[in-house]
Structure 1
Amino acid sequence: MTLIHVFPGQGSHRPGIGRDLFPKFPHLVRQADSVLGRSIADLCLNASAQELTDTRNTQTAMYVVNALSYLDAVRETGRVPDAVAGHSLGEYVALFAAGTFDFLTGLEIVVRRGELMAQAPEGGMAAVMGVAEDRIHEILAERAPAVDVANLNAPGQTVVSGPRDDIARLKDVFGSEAKAVVALNVGGAFHSRHMADAAAEFGTFLAQYRLASPRIEVISNVTARPYGTDDPADLLTRQIASPVRWTESIAHLLDRPEPEFREIGPGQVLTGLVAQIRTQRRALSPTA
C-alpha cells in the first residue's frame, strides 16, 4: 500500500479552522504569531468570512492549519506518507512535509506569496462544469481571449481565470455547452498570465532561500510529475501563473501500488476530486 497525503488550497478555508490543533502545537503557534504580527488563532477562529477570504489571510491560515494537521496526523499514526501533493497553496505544505523547508521558512514564503498575489490586477475565477478541456480552450480563444484555464481539477471540472468583467459574462460565453459556470469567491486571476508580474517578483524573493530537494515524492502542480533534484524555487515561481494540473497529478499517483489517499486539512474537496479522477480512470481502463 502506498500512503499519499493531499493538501487542499484556498477553496477549503472557512472560519473556525484549526480550533482543535492550536492547543496541540503552542510553540509553532507562537512562531506563526511572531511572523504575522498577530494571532493566527484569532485570524482562523474569529475573523469574518470576508476577512478570511482575503488571499493574504487565506493563504496564511491554510498553510498553518494544513501544516499542523500534517504533524498531528503523523503523530497519531506514526507513519510518514510515501508521496504528497497539494493543490495550489497546498503544495507548500506538501513541500514542508517533504523537508524542503521548515515550518517557519514555509510561512515566511507563503506570507510573501499572498502579498504579491493580492497586489496583482483585480480579477476573478470561475468553475466550468461539463465541458472538455480542449473545447474550453477553443471557446475562450474565440469569445474570451483574456481568460485562461487555471485549474484542471477533475474530468468535467475546470477552473478559468481572468479579468473580473470577463469572468462575469462566462455564463453567456459558454451558454448551453456548460452544465454550470460558478464564480469563485476569490479576488484575483490566480494561475493565469495575469499573475506573471507577481510570479517574477516572487522568484526574486525566493532567491534568498536555499530550498532542499524533497525527501519524499512531491508532485508539482506545474508538471504533474515529481520534483527532481533541481532547486524547487523554479517550480514554485512558475506555479503562480501556471495551471494547476490536478487531474494529471492524481492520475500519476494512481499508478503507485495500492494507492491510499488521505486528505490532510479542512474539508473533503480533494477527496471528492480524487474519487472522480479514479472513477474516470476505471471507466477508461476497466482492468486497471
Structure 2
Amino acid sequence: MGALGEGASPLKNVAFLFAGQGSQRPGMGRALGEKSAAARAVFDAADAVRPGTSTQCFDGTKEELALTENTQPCVLAVDLACAAALAERGVAPAAVAGHSLGELGALAFAGAFDVEAVMRLAVERARLMSACCDAHPGAMRAVLKLAPERVEELASQAGEAWAVNYNSPLQTVVAGSPEACECLDALVRDAGGRSVRVAVSGAFHSPYMADAAAGLAAHLARHAPASPRTQCWANLTGRPYPADPAQVAQTLASQVKSPVRWVDELRGMRAAGIDTFVEVGPGHTLTGLVRRTLDGVRALSVEDPDQLEAAVAAIAEG
C-alpha cells in the first residue's frame, strides 16, 4: 500500500505517539478495522507480509500475544491502522514518536518505510530480540517514586543492571540479569521507591541486545530506509531523527540496545510547540506518561471507533 502520512496539511500543535510492546491485548484493532477502510488496508498489507497477523490481533489469546515474535508485528499493525484511520479523517501530525517498538510505526508513518517494509523489519526485530533473550536471560523492573539519577545509582549497586527506559520523571525502567533485578527490588524498597516486575521475556534496551542491534544493522543495510518526511523523534537521542537515511538506519539499529529517552522526547516536542499528543495503538500507557511528564497539554488515545471520533472532534475544536 502507499505511504501512510501523505494527504492533509500537518497540524502544527499535534503529535502522534505510537504504542510499544506491553500494550497488546486480545481483540485489539478489530472494531477499527471493521469501521475504517484505511485501517483495514493496513491489516491487509500486514497479512500479505505475515499471514495471520490480523487474526492474531483480533482473536489471539493473551498468552499468544505475549510472545515477542507475535507481539511486535501485531502491535505494529494496530499502531499503523490507528494512525491511518486518523489520517483518513484528515488529521495529520507535525511530529511523530514511538516508544521502543512503536518507533518503527512512527518512522513508517513519517515515510521512512512503507507498511510492507516495516512489517518485515518488525518480524526480523522480534526474531533477533527473542534470540537474544534465549542467549542472555534477563528481566526488567519499572521503578516508581524515585528520580532517574537515584535509579541509576541503585541499578549500578544491584549488579548487572541498567536504567533503560526514562518514561516519566518518577518512572524509570531497569533491565538486567534476573539476579540483579531481584537485588534491585530490595534496594528500591529501602530507598522508599516501588519496584514493579515488567512482563517481558528479556532485558530489552540493554547491552544484552547487542546481537539484535547488529542483526538489525545488517537488515537495514539490505533494506535501507528513506528520509522521514515528518519530524520523527528518536528514542536513542531524545531528539529528531536526522534526514540522512544512513544515519536513520544507524540510529534505529542502535535503539534496541540503548536506553529509551522518552522524557527528553516529550519535553522536546512540547518546546517545539506540540500541545496535543495522540496515542495510536492499543492501550493508553503513553497517554499516562504524557500526563505525568508535561503540564498544560492534551493527551488523547485512539484505538477504537469511539475514541477515533472523540479525538477528531477534540482536535477540530482546537
The two structures share one fold, judged by TM-score above 0.5: yes
Deviations 1:226-261 (A, max 9, x none): 111222110111100000000010000111235211
Structural mapping, 1:30-45, within 5 Å = 30-36=44-50, 38-45=51-58
Matching residue of 2:255: 239
RMSD: 1.7
**Tell me, what secondary structure is at the counterpart of 2:93?**
coil
The unaligned stretches of length 5 or more in structure 2 are 1-11, 298-318
Matching residue of 1:47: 60
Q: Does residue 112 of the first structure (1) align with residue 124 of the second (2)?
A: yes
- Distance in 1 (alpha carbons) for counterparts of 2:59 and 2:178: 29
Structural mapping, 1:134-153, within 5 Å = 134-142=149-157, 144-153=158-167
**What is the deviation of 1:28?**
3.6
The answer to whether the 8 A contact 2:40-2:81 is kept is no
The answer to whether the 8 A contact 1:127-1:184 is kept is yes
- Counterpart selection for 2:100 from 82, 88, 93: 88
- Distance in 2 (alpha carbons) for counterparts of 1:280 and 1:182: 29
The unaligned stretches of length 5 or more in structure 1 are 282-288
**Tell me, what secondary structure is at the counterpart of 2:222?**
coil
The answer to whether the 8 A contact 2:43-2:81 is kept is no
- Distance in 1 (alpha carbons) for counterparts of 2:205 and 2:288: 22
- Distance in 2 (alpha carbons) for counterparts of 1:245 and 1:81: 21
- Counterpart selection for 1:230 from 244, 264, 270: 244
The answer to whether the 8 A contact 1:22-1:41 is kept is no
Amino acid at match of 1:135: R
Amino acid at match of 1:255: A
Against the structure 1 CA distance between its residues 178 and 118, is the aligned structure 2 distance closer, same or farther, given a 3 Å change threshold? farther
- Distance in 1 (alpha carbons) for counterparts of 2:272 and 2:95: 9
Structural mapping, 1:1-288, within 5 Å = 1-23=12-34, 24=37, 25-36=39-50, 38-76=51-89, 78-120=90-132, 121-142=136-157, 144-231=158-245, 232-257=248-273, 259-279=275-295
Matching residue of 1:284: none
- Distance in 1 (alpha carbons) for counterparts of 2:150 and 2:40: 50
**Tell me, what secondary structure is at the counterpart of 1:85?**
strand
**What is the deviation of 1:280?**
10
The answer to whether the 8 A contact 1:191-1:239 is kept is yes
Amino acid at match of 2:149: D
- Distance in 2 (alpha carbons) for counterparts of 1:274 and 1:166: 29
**What is the deviation of 1:27?**
4.3
Amino acid at match of 1:262: V
- Distance in 2 (alpha carbons) for counterparts of 1:79 and 1:19: 21
**What is the deviation of 1:113?**
0.1
Amino acid at match of 1:3: V
**What is the deviation of 1:2?**
1.1
TM-score of the pair, normalised by structure 1 = 0.92
How many residue pairs match? The answer is 278
Deviations 1:85-107 (A, max 9, x none): 11001111111111001000000
**Tell me, what secondary structure is at the counterpart of 2:252?**
helix
The answer to whether the 8 A contact 1:155-1:280 is kept is no
Percent identity, aligned pairs only, is 37
- Distance in 2 (alpha carbons) for counterparts of 1:45 and 1:22: 9
**What is the deviation of 1:268?**
1.4
Amino acid at match of 1:53: A
**What is the deviation of 1:173?**
2.6
TM-score of the pair, normalised by structure 2 = 0.83
Against the structure 1 CA distance between its residues 258 and 7, is the aligned structure 2 distance closer, same or farther, given a 3 Å change threshold? closer
